[in-house]
Structure 1
């Protein structure tokens, strides 16, 4: 599937997931949303993708994001979650998808929804992608899985496979 991001990407959606329009689920700022076919009820597992060109993408020579920049993105995402929920960092590590450097982290989130408290797991991945047509154009992509904590053992590995498939469209 190809998404509408500043640099088009493609990926392989795992079996058991279905693409939906971000507008249909009230997620218009996002480029892409997928829902898990077998998680219903209180909370439906989802994968989202957002991205933007790096601010300095056109003003400096192309170079991949360094570990410090990726760590900052991970820390900022963790801090955003912590403002509205109890959060615990489970894992953070460097990753790569088709040669693009990245950072992955898994966070446990305790929060409330309409019918009371809920424990979620969020897998977050940040990938620095370069436009294969214009190497000076670079984008940071945020890929996020949110699921019930009890479903994370099954869904986090699927999410990791999904992230590994993300690449710029050639």
Structure 2
């Protein structure tokens, strides 16, 4: 069962990315998945580079760093190891966002890199939805796809009301 976001959003996928049904790619906990089946450096051991969108309503008093720590804990529950390589706040005012870069160690010496962006969206009912935008790839694919992910993140915004 696909998870729905608490807010409607709009976004654009960069060239070469394809939407995939979350249930069919083993990610039923997210609302949206896109994959990039072909990267210039190819896939390692059949891993397909992907980006996901998830989100939930959170108390505005909860700091983005707390939400990011929760994600590190979730990843750590399924990986051999997880290390926060970098973390940075962005934005201003009452709803700053946060990015973090994780190095994930898997079984048999395999590894992944995950770039996570936490983007708060306040709605007219004084609720805050925090979107979690995630790029997951192998370390050798990261330099090839991180610019696509940045372009994708820049397009994410609340959906415009339709008349």
Provide TM-score, normalisation by structure 2.
0.82
Q: Kindly indicate whether residue 71 of structure 2 is the aligned counterpart of residue 77 of structure 1.
A: yes
Distance between the aligned counterparts of 1:130 and 1:169, measured in 2?
A: 13
Q: Does the alignment pair 1:129 with 2:114? A: no
Q: 1:9-158 residue pairs with structure 2 within 5 A?
A: 9-39=9-39, 40=43, 41-54=45-58, 56=59, 65=60, 69-83=63-77, 84-96=79-91, 101-112=96-107, 116-131=108-123, 134-158=124-148
- Higher alpha-carbon deviation: 25-34 or 37-46: 37-46
* Paired residue secondary structure (2:63): helix
Could you say what secondary structure the match of 1:25 adopts? coil
Deviations 1:67-114 (A, max 9, x none): x70011112212222333222222111124xx96310011111112xx
Q: Distance in 1 between matches of 2:82 and 2:29?
A: 24
Tell me how far apart the structure 2 counterparts of residues 160 and 100 of structure 1 sit (CA, whole Å): 19
Name the SS for the 1:159 alignment partner: helix
Which secondary structure state, in structure 2, belongs to the residue aligned with residue 163 of structure 1?
Answer: helix
Measure the CA separation in 1 of the matches of 2:80 and 2:90: 26
Where is the strand percentage greater, Structure 1 or Structure 2? 1
Whole-angstrom CA distance in 1 between matches of 2:25 and 2:113: 20
Q: Is the 8 A contact 1:130 1:168 kept in 2?
A: no
Contact 2:4 2:30 in 1 (8 A): no
Report SS of the residue matched to 1:23: coil
Structure 1 residues without counterparts, runs of 5 or longer: 57-64
Q: CA RMSD in A?
A: 2.4
Q: Which runs of 5+ in 2 are unaligned?
A: none
